[in-house]
Amino acid sequence: MQKVINVIALLSGLTSAALIGGAGYLLMNKDTMIEEARENVANAAVEAATNALPGMLDSAMPELPEVETIVRGLDQELRGETIDSLEIFRSDPIIQGDPESFSEFLCGRKIKAVQRRAKFLLFHFEPVGGMVVHLRMTGKFTLTETKEPPGPHERIWFQLKSGRLLIYSDLRCFGTLECHESLDAWEDSKKLGPEPFSQDFNAKSLRKRLRESQREVKPLLLDQGLLAGLGNIYASEVLFRCGINPCRKGKRVKLREWEKLVDETRSVLNEAIEKNGTSISDFRRVDEKTGEFQNFLRVYEREGKPCVSCGMPVQRIVQQQRSSYFCPGCQV
């Protein structure tokens, strides 16, 4: 009996020690555990939203023609302007790095030019330095002559020496702004593929690189390491004009088809730029006007409607959580 009592006492002591130790561990690591839990919840929410609403992000995010339209408007208005001061209403998670350092870096900088790389906006300053901006889903710039109380989604004010105000707004705060002493030090640029209008984007290099690829051609066109700037809307339109099914494997695309794809990519993008981009969701120009290319789309978001070429209903499928639109009669 005494042995039983001793065993029970031992187990009781071990249990108490475990509970005390566990409580101590929780107390010491509570901040880390809370942060990890928040991150897990956020990641789960993003994954759930992406799985539940495929194609939503693509239709909302500016692609090359929209970014090019914005860049041309900003460059025309801002070239030669000097940033006098900043007012930051929300920095996290938009500003990459310390907000005070961000503000100090920009104040007094003269804007030399605004250019585009892929879907990024590049602000070049004199004599050196730059700012890289990705608008994501709802980021936008507007210029105003008057200074009124900030709107609910205005995140940063750039006060210009001319008296005008450059406003960065972002409903969902997914956009990013980061400064660099030299844009040559911008690491993300090294991960990007060639621009669609450059000589490096050509049929021979595509055929050589993808002749053994098992990946479907539509996701290949969205790979920013293969081709910089092309997005979901224009990839669907390009493939329709080429008569290529989005599910076809990269290795099944012939050289002459790659040649046509290169030509049609440039044609579609040029047409969209001429129409100031596609306004399906939040996209607006710097002057708040919308684009017009949505009125000329042949397959994108036309599920169930007759094909403009053969009359068969346009179909929609999901590839890597993104919507693809195509005509089963015209695209093989």
The CA-atom distances, in angstroms, between 75 and each of 51, 170, 191 are: 38, 20, 25
Q: Active site residue: 63, 66, 77, 154, which one?
A: 63
Question: Is 62 among the residues known to form the active site?
Answer: yes
249 pairs with which residues across the strands? 216
Asked if residues 245 and 331 have their Cβ atoms less than 8 Å apart, the reply is yes
Asked if residues 168 and 178 have their Cβ atoms less than 8 Å apart, the reply is no
Q: Active site residue: 62, 65, 196, 246, which one?
A: 62
Q: Active site residue: 112, 119, 155, 207, which one?
A: 119
Strands (E), 89-172: 110-117, 120-126, 130-134, 139-144, 154-160, 165-170
Question: Is 119 among the residues known to form the active site?
Answer: yes
The tokens describing 288, both together, are 């708040």
Give exposure, 1-36, as e/b (b: 16+ Cβ within 10 Å).
eeeeeeeeeeeeeeeeeeeeeeeeeeeeeeeeeeee
Question: Is 172 among the residues known to form the active site?
Answer: no
Q: Active site residue: 136, 218, 302, 322, which one?
A: 322
Question: Is 127 among the residues known to form the active site?
Answer: no
> Which residues are catalytic, by number?
62-63, 119, 322
